[in-house]
Amino acid sequence: MEQTQALQSLVDPCTRFFEVSGSLPPVGLRSGFIRVLQTEAKDCVFLRQTLTGPPIFLSKITSPGGSVFFLRVHMSLTLASHLPSLTLFHYLKEVNDPAKNEKLECIEEATLAGLKEMGAFGLQVPEELGGIGLTNTQYARIVEVVGVHDLGVGISLGAHQSIGFKGILLFGTKRQKEKYLPKLASGETIAAFCLTEPASGSDAASIQTTAELSECGKFYTLNGGKIWISNGGTAEIFTVFAQTPVKEPTGEVKNKISAFIVERAFGGVTSGPPEKKMGIKCSNTAEVHFDNVKVPAENLLGELGKGFLVAMNILNNGRFGMASALSGTMRGVIVKAVDHAANRKQFGNKISSYGAIQEKIARMAMMHYVTEVRPSSNCRINTMVSNSTEAAWYVTDECIQILGGMGYMQVRELVLRDLRIFRIFEGTNDILRLFVALTGIEVRGCLWVPAPQHQHRASCQATLHLALHRWEGAGVYMLLAMRSLIRSTGLLPSPIRGHTQHFLQQRALAQGAGHASTDMFTLAACVGIVPWVSVGARSELASCSRNGMAFWVTGGKQSW
């Protein structure tokens, strides 16, 4: 009963979620939802805002952090003047051919040249260094557009800037930035991120590649091999992680991970042939080998022995981009499903008139809403990736189900094959969920209580408190989330530091806590976005946010 009511409460606001300009005909909730969804993207205000540009740039919303639906005015103007999403949208739609890219197993040079000309290879590089200088929110907008059209192209761009040279942006010295970023931003040189090895995947700390400082102290000698490196065969600049001897304050020497900027031009850098993959075939993936590579000491990235910190910060940025891209992918998939449902007739009626199809599309829209909320919130990155990748897989699979036999034919199934890697990329969902579980248990029962000593959840608390102040109904859903988390972890003491290894070995318990914690942090993100769409936005949009969250909690989460 609760799920049915939540579904009905979502359906009407979802007619605003994909709202058509003007008034809606007086139709039933479910049929009204379908009636609106079947409208083409060019007639949908919400889609037009995100995909084609103009309305979003005219927004008057000036909330402190922006929101999932709007950018700040100055952010909008910057994005519109440098890289209008309208231009990128039409370019990818008219010039890029995903099917041809897959067949060739590379991106056509003409497509790459156009992307370079638009500045798509240096989206977050400062303007003074040749880039566009976008913020994370602006970057998320652009990545969403790419995700709608071609995930293979998205991976190539993301491997270059989200992780490839991100370390230089975050940890590079002024000299390193001035030397490398201009050519990287223009696309003249391509970057790659080199961490994974045959014996180290999720356990990144166990890498075997070594870098030893010369007696003169002028260079490091790098030896080792990396596998499954995106852009590995085409990159000229590599962010490489290796074990280096580090002297402890006690005088003991230990091997610790350090990060380096490595040029192919240094010599000794070789790449294997492109890997044959299930999906994202147009992106280059290859092994990279380093044989006695002489790396100048000034190319150390960050501090000696602090490479693991560098790697984790870079990967978090990559995960943010992944979630944003998948939000766009889900939107494109939903439009295809709705278009088919609105035109396909069976048993004398359009299949959009059948309740089973309507509920599928409602659930798909709900999962897309939750996915889009995360990159624009203070939600933890690990929850963002694990849930976004699984939501995108579910939505795409349901789209194929709605399309029936047509969905199984080539080209249409391309998205599903491309998506499969995202549950493995940059930390498998299983591993990420364990980290989420640990965090969730730390905050169990005290998420709403300000705690200065827990800085990692301060922003989440601030967002949540504001949402609770603006919308009292949020408390009901947060109580549901906390109840689920406590139910999963009730036998565990709240402080588990020092017992992490034991906890991780309890797989069933850890996975349950991971799911519950993910739900809790995701809910915090959904609740936190309500104030921003309630201030200055149309009341329908705020209603959509509240009811979309209500459906996600009561109707979309079967475990609750």
**Which pLDDT tens digit goes with each residue over 317-371?**
888 888 889 988 998 899 899 889 999 999 999 998 888 898 888 888 878 877 8
| pLDDT score at 151 | 95
Q: Give the residue with greater pLDDT, 503 vs 18.
A: 503
83 closest CA partner among 10, 16, 161: 161
Contact yes or no for 559/515 (Cβ under 8 A): yes
For residue 459, the tally of other CB atoms under 10 A from its CB is 14
Does position 418 have pLDDT exceeding 80, yes or no? yes
| pLDDT score at 243 | 96
Contact yes or no for 255/245 (Cβ under 8 A): yes
Q: What percent of the chain has pLDDT over 70?
A: 60
Q: Per the residue annotation, which of 144, 390, 426, 442 is the catalytic one?
A: 426
Exposed/middle/buried for residue 218 (C-beta within 10 Å: 0-12, 13-18, 19+): exposed
**Which pLDDT tens digit goes with each residue over 235-249?**
999 999 999 999 888
Annotated active-site residue 426? The verdict is yes
* Average pLDDT taken over every residue of the chain: 73
Does position 101 have pLDDT exceeding 90, yes or no? yes
Task: Give the list of residues 6+ apart from residue 448 with CB closer than 8 angstroms, or none.
Answer: 461, 464, 465, 468, 478
Does position 64 have pLDDT exceeding 50, yes or no? no
Distance CA 207, CA 203 (A): 8
Backbone angles phi, psi at 191, to 5 degrees: -115, 155
Distance CA 76, CA 378 (A): 20
pTM: 0.76
Contact yes or no for 149/220 (Cβ under 8 A): no
Does position 21 have pLDDT exceeding 50, yes or no? no
Contact yes or no for 366/556 (Cβ under 8 A): yes
Residue 522, token pair as written in the block: 């995701």
| pLDDT score at 68 | 36
| pLDDT score at 556 | 47
For residue 472, the tally of other CB atoms under 10 A from its CB is 8
Mean pLDDT of 538-543: 49
| pLDDT score at 87 | 75
| pLDDT score at 410 | 77
Q: Give the residue with greater pLDDT, 402 vs 477.
A: 402
Single-letter residue type at 365: A
Mean pLDDT of 262-266: 98
191-194 and 237-247 strand pairing: parallel
Q: Give the residue with greater pLDDT, 418 vs 44.
A: 418
Length of the chain: 560
Q: What domains does the chain contain, in order, with CATH numbers?
A: 2-37+313-554 (1.20.140.10), 54-186 (1.10.540.10), 191-305 (2.40.110.10)
Distance CA 31, CA 15 (A): 10
For residue 235, the tally of other CB atoms under 10 A from its CB is 29
Q: Give the residue with greater pLDDT, 554 vs 356.
A: 356
Spell out the alpha helix ranges (H) of 295-354.
Answer: 307-343
Residue 201: band (very low, low, confident or very high) from pLDDT cuts 50, 70, 90: confident
| pLDDT score at 306 | 95
Task: Give the list of residues 6+ apart from residue 265 with CB closer than 8 angstroms, or none.
Answer: 236
Distance CA 341, CA 388 (A): 24
Contact yes or no for 392/425 (Cβ under 8 A): no
**Which pLDDT tens digit goes with each residue over 299-318?**
999 999 999 999 988 988 88
Lowest-confidence segment of 9-13, 395-399, 510-514 by average pLDDT: 9-13
CA distances, 105 to each of 231, 277, 314, 392 (Å): 13, 10, 27, 23
